[in-house]
Amino acid sequence: MSPDEEIFDVVIVGAGLSGIGAACHLAARCPAKTYAILETRQAIGGTWDLFRYPGIRSDSDMHTLGYAFAPWRARESIADGPSIRAYVRQAARDHDIERHIRFGHRLRRARWSSEAACWTLEVDVAQADPAAPPRAATLRARMLSMCSGYYRYDRGHAPQFEGMADFRGPIVHPQFWPEELEHAGRRVAVIGSGATAVTLVPALAQTAALVTMIQRSPTWVASLPAVDRIAVWLRRLLPDALAYRLVRAKNVLVQRWIYRQTREHPERVRAHLLAEVRKQLGPDYDVEKHFTPRYDPWDQRLCLVPDADLFVAIREGRASVATDRIARFVPSGIELESGQRIEADIVVSATGLELEVLGGAEFEVDGRKVDFAETLTYKGMMYSDVPNLVQTFGYINASWTLRADLTAEWVCRVLETMDRRGARRATPRLRPEDRAMPTRPWIDGFTPGYMQRAMHLFPKQGDREPWLNTQDYARDRKMLRRGPIEDGVLVLD
């Protein structure tokens, strides 16, 4: 059989944190299943290999961002990008995953045939010569597991401003950080106030002359220790695996408690966060202007700064914040609408991601093109009337991998159930009583711009289970680990 005719029980798309985790679960629980991983790039790691900007790190603790099956052993709980990349690669080696990865393979189109009960995958394969056009290849998969994340790798969100062509220095997007860029001793302006910006500013400020964070409006920022002292203490007393499970459970409970407080008592959380910022920056700093958002905590993601590094940089005069709209670029920097001019040698546009659905691939079911915006999400993982297709999408209010692990476990349960039943298809079908239910966005009540710009492309959710994307780990854990596979909605045939 030629490579173009290969058929696999499962094809996983993406060799990042989610894809490697999905393969590890599959190899451990369903060892008889054949599988391949398609990875567009030439390396394992996904986000953690793509992003190379200064200071790149997690904005969740690694005891929950790490895999349930692979203890995080480093001292720092808030880890840098290279450490996370090494962790993912080690998991792949430990579970013999690497030999299943097809690097330079980009899924372009997936066509489902009910008659054959499989997906035909049209793939672009990169050539050894980067200038050569990709080679077309075809694979087949009985189950398709999409672990390609939710944003475009080839393009970030980059708004245009008047006068950008006049600026004398480089304008850089963090997603495509040039290795040769030298910022030491230079003035840097960082546009944005999200997780990437608050990571970049203190990292650049270690050697830059001055770093100015230009934000249209403030973001909620909280400081946590980079080292979890309880984790360090437990590792001295207990085996690594047990200590990891205990710290993971503790941190899940803490995350849930904090998020619940933001929903039930937002005014208390606001007061606490602002008090902590004032404690860091002192009574004379204008916290109201620069660190008091118009929205409640967790209406957008709460930005984490380890060991208060952002506040330390501001306090020491190595970084500053300008809260205003940009009027235009000028040759020597950026002019704000207030008339203030930010002198800069380098501008970093930390203005966010550009989202896409399922890696931008096209999908067809029995010759009919699938418009995912017209579908309903099933348990936040599958799509109404689309067979044998599962997407991994983590939490926006907790660590991504918590849900990635649950999704991978659930896929194994589905495969086991299908084998017992002799079924070839698993398809979510609307019940008669579901057809008229009201719908709402797939991610509801979460307002950052990068989400709002793309939610119309994603599936909808309903007002009842299992047509919900709950973003609730405790609820998902019960449903996905112990709930029935055959629930009257997921049809196995």
Q: What is the mean pLDDT of residues 162-170?
A: 96
Residue 299 reports pLDDT greater than 90? no
* Mean pLDDT taken over the chain: 94
Q: Provide the 3-class DSSP secondary structure of residue 134.
A: coil
Q: Where are the alpha helices (DSSP H) in 174-286?
A: 195-204, 229-237, 240-264, 266-281
Say what the pTM is: 0.94
Q: How confident is the model at residue 216 (pLDDT cuts 50, 70, 90)?
A: very high
Q: What is the mean pLDDT of residues 115-130?
A: 94
What pLDDT does residue 388 have?
Answer: 98
**Higher pLDDT residue, 111 or 263?**
111
Q: What is the mean pLDDT of residues 314-323?
A: 97
Cα dihedral across residues 65, 66, 71, 74: positive or negative: negative
What pLDDT does residue 214 have?
Answer: 98
First to last CA, the chain: 28
* CA gap 427, 378 in Å, rounded: 10
What pLDDT does residue 449 have?
Answer: 79
Residue 422 reports pLDDT greater than 90? yes
What pLDDT does residue 2 have?
Answer: 44
Q: Long-range contacts made by residues 477-485, C-beta under 8 angstroms, separation at least 24?
A: 477/406, 479/379, 480/379, 480/406, 480/407, 480/409, 480/410, 480/413, 481/406, 481/409, 481/410, 485/413, 485/414, 485/417
Residue 5 reports pLDDT greater than 80? no
Q: How confident is the model at residue 3 (pLDDT cuts 50, 70, 90)?
A: very low
